[in-house]
Amino acid sequence: MLQGKVAIVTGGTRGIGYEIVHKFLENKAKVILFGTRRETVEKAVTTLKEENPSFEVMGLYPNLNREEELRAAFEEVIRKYGKIDILVNNAGVSSKTPFTEYTSEEYDKIMDINVRAVYMCSRAIVDYMKERGGVILNTSSFVSIYGQPSGVMYPASKYAVNGMTKSLARELGKYGIRVNAVAPGIIETDMVRALPKEMIDPLVATIPLGRIGRVEDIANAFLFLASDLASYITGIVLPVDGAAMN
């Protein structure tokens, strides 16, 4: 589905991001995964290459809030592959801190990673996509719609991602750039798997499909939106949550 495409995935070393990278590689894309540390980036790339030596994957670790580092990373990709077709803004950080215990430092950290980095990466890559079009995909969350009982800035930041997604779709459509987001529900990540059964069962009870989502469910949604099958879809925030809380 992505034969010949070149994709960048931020936050691609673990969890949903890693599964997106894996799914894109399976569908013949050339993938550059971004991570925060050299060690985790190199480990992810090595693991993928060991699984399938034919995977065309490389890793970089720019600071997503520094324009000069981002542009240097994008230019390295352009030199190697000649283009960038897809950007997945997946890097993010969650929060469960009660509102009365929030600090300005935590506020800044969440907004820098969840909002500013999406803006910075998108702003930097548009210059490369203007000539030939492209796809920008953002990771949102179902809590951007429903909220959550603590950690207020996480849903607030994802709400901002939704607004950026819809607005950029309108603004960048004239360049042939599609912009969409995927809003995962409760997903079976390492953190969720570590929860005790008495915490998991009530969560499952809120989901009409009767199960927690898998990272592959989310990666499949990204694959579809990145592919030409979604060539007339832009400006959507796609819930992948089993109708939880609907």
List, by residue number, the catalytic residues. 154
For residue 218, give the nearest of 37, 39, 9 by alpha carbon.
Answer: 9
88 exposed, middle or buried (CB, 10 Å; 0-12, 13-18, 19+)? Answer: buried
Distance CA 225, CA 237 (A): 11
The length of the chain is: 246
- In terms of DSSP H, where are the helices of the chain? 15-26, 38-51, 67-81, 104-111, 117-129, 143-146, 153-172, 190-193, 197-205, 215-226
End-to-end, the C-alpha distance of the chain in Å comes to 31
Q: Cβ atoms within 10 A of the Cβ of 167, count? A: 12
10 φ/ψ sector (left φ>0, alpha ψ -120 to 50, else beta): beta
DSSP per-residue letters across 142-173: THHHH--SS-THHHHHHHHHHHHHHHHHHHHG
For residue 36, give the nearest of 9, 64, 56 by alpha carbon.
Answer: 64
197 exposed, middle or buried (CB, 10 Å; 0-12, 13-18, 19+)? Answer: exposed
